[in-house]
């Protein structure tokens, strides 16, 4: 792949209606068709304990509704198919996801699979299915409770397969939500671990599109740097144990949503190798997605320093204010500050912290090959041998 030296051609499309601020759930009544039969999807039960579920039901007014709960972190294909069967049996016409990225991702798959003609596993590629296109999907909206993945404003879903020990993503314009409700106060009851995961996950989302090679995309670079600066600025405030500040949580929620909604990615190359390597960790032992990324990103920076030299230097200087020493010293400073940032959020940066041992590396590299992740990065030059070195660097 020959790297571009100018902004790449692109087509930007994002139709998601965002309702942001206090007391926005009530707007569901305006956004959902009056004759819709609605299936509300959610995760482990916090949606009900917090009262959010009841607020959604109240907003639905006289509409007929049902529920499908228990969607796990890293939503599982086999379990999601139960929802697909429920939809077909009970004739639902609209979905509302109440939760974070896992619930929303799971709901996107449910929306696609419910109208898919054929075996829904064939929606996926990467050695799992045939990679057939999603021609249509059931309409759905979201009520975001755990900011992390930007799934509330993008057309991407990631699904895990227990039997295959695989985690696979798909991207399709039919998987954009029709609307997303963003109430910062819904983050008030989140445990510190989920807040830290959200900050870290979105930080790496931005880095995957930023840490490639320079093509003169000044606005996209500054957008990315602005988001990274914001996370660094508010990180400790988001995790603070004292009285919760509304503006801090509002900035947290909106910044995360903008981390991966298409703005920073338009016209620039993307890497996504950190995600690919992280998927294999989650498939192996169930580690939180964000906690795989905080380990893999710094290791990638170290192993791929030469290939990413220019953007690593720009990152170190613009994001971390590196001014001393030669270029390599500044790059190393930026990598160190990245690890320090993750540490400040109590995120792992070594395999030993997430239950991965050296003996697991052979299997994870084999799985990369099985899932056709053998030519990764913005230049498609990250071979299995290089991925192995990144895994080894993370030990």
pLDDT of 378 strictly over 70: yes
pLDDT at 1 over 70: no
Set out the domains of the chain in order of their start, with CATH numbers.
23-182 (3.40.50.1970), 192-393 (1.20.1090.10)
Other residues' Cβ atoms within 10 Å of the Cβ of residue 20: 15
Longest dimension (CA), the chain: 67
The mean of the pLDDT values for the chain is: 97
Locate tokens 């609209």: which residue?
94
Q: Tell me: the pLDDT tens digits for 168-186?
A: 999 999 999 999 999 999 9
Query: Angle, to 10 degrees, between the axis of helix 327-344 and the axis of helix 218-239?
Result: 40
| Phi, psi (rounded to 5 degrees) for 250 | -65, -45
Short-list 303, 320, 311, 326, CA closest to 386: 303
- 223: alpha, beta or left, given left = phi > 0 and alpha = psi -120 to 50? alpha
The residue behind tokens 């049902």 is 66
% of the chain residues with pLDDT over 90: 97
pLDDT value for 2: 59
Assign 3 a pLDDT band (cuts: 50, 70, 90): low
At residue 242, the pLDDT reads 82
- Torsion, Cα of 255, 257, 262, 264 (10° steps): 10
Residue 67's DSSP bridge partners are: 40
Give the containing element (helix H, strand E) for 290: helix 289-303
Pull the structure tokens for residue 259: 């981390």
Has residue 105 got a pLDDT over 80?
yes
Q: What is the mean pLDDT of residues 78-92?
A: 98
Average pLDDT estimate for 87-103:
98
């Amino acid at each position: 792949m020959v790297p571009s030296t100018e902004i790449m051609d692109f087509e930007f499309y994002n139709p998601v209606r965002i309702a942001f601020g206090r007391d926005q759930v009530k707007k569901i009544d305006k956004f959902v068709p009056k004759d819709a039969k609605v299936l509300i999807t959610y995760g482990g039960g916090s949606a009900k304990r917090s009262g959010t579920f009841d607020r959604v039901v109240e907003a639905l007014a006289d509409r007929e509704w049902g529920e499908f709960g228990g969607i796990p972190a890293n939503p599982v294909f086999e379990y999601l198919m139960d929802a697909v069967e429920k939809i077909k049996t009970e004739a639902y016409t609209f979905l509302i996801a109440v939760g974070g990225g896992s619930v929303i991702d799971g709901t996107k798959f449910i929306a696609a699979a419910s109208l898919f003609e054929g075996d829904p596993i064939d929606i996926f590629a990467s050695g799992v299915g045939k990679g057939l296109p999603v021609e249509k999907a059931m309409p759905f909206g979201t009520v975001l409770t755990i900011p992390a993945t930007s799934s509330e404003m993008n057309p991407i879903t990631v699904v895990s397969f227990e039997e295959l020990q695989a985690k696979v993503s798909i991207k399709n314009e039919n998987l954009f939500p029709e609307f997303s409700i963003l109430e910062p106060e819904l983050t008030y009851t989140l445990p510190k671990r989920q807040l830290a995961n959200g900050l870290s996950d979105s930080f790496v989302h931005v880095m995957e599109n930023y840490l490639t090679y320079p093509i003169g995309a000044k606005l996209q670079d500054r957008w990315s740097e602005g988001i990274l600066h914001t996370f660094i600025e508010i990180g400790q405030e988001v995790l603070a144990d004292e009285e919760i500040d509304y503006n801090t949580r509002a900035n947290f929620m909106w910044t995360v949503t903008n981390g991966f909604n298409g703005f920073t990615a338009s016209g620039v190359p993307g890497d996504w190798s950190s995600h690919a390597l992280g998927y294999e960790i989650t498939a192996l032992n169930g580690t939180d997605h964000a906690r795989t990324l905080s380990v893999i990103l710094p290791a990638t920076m170290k192993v791929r320093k030469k290939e990413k030299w220019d953007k690593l230097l720009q990152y170190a200087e613009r994001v971390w204010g590196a001014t001393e020493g030669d270029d390599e010293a500044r790059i190393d400073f930026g990598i160190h500050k990245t690890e320090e940032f993750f540490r400040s959020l109590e995120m792992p940066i070594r395999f030993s912290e997430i239950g991965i041992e050296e003996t697991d590396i052979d299997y994870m590299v084999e799985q990369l090959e099985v899932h056709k992740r053998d030519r990764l990065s913005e230049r498609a030059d990250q071979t299995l041998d290089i991925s192995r070195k990144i895994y080894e660097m993370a030990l």
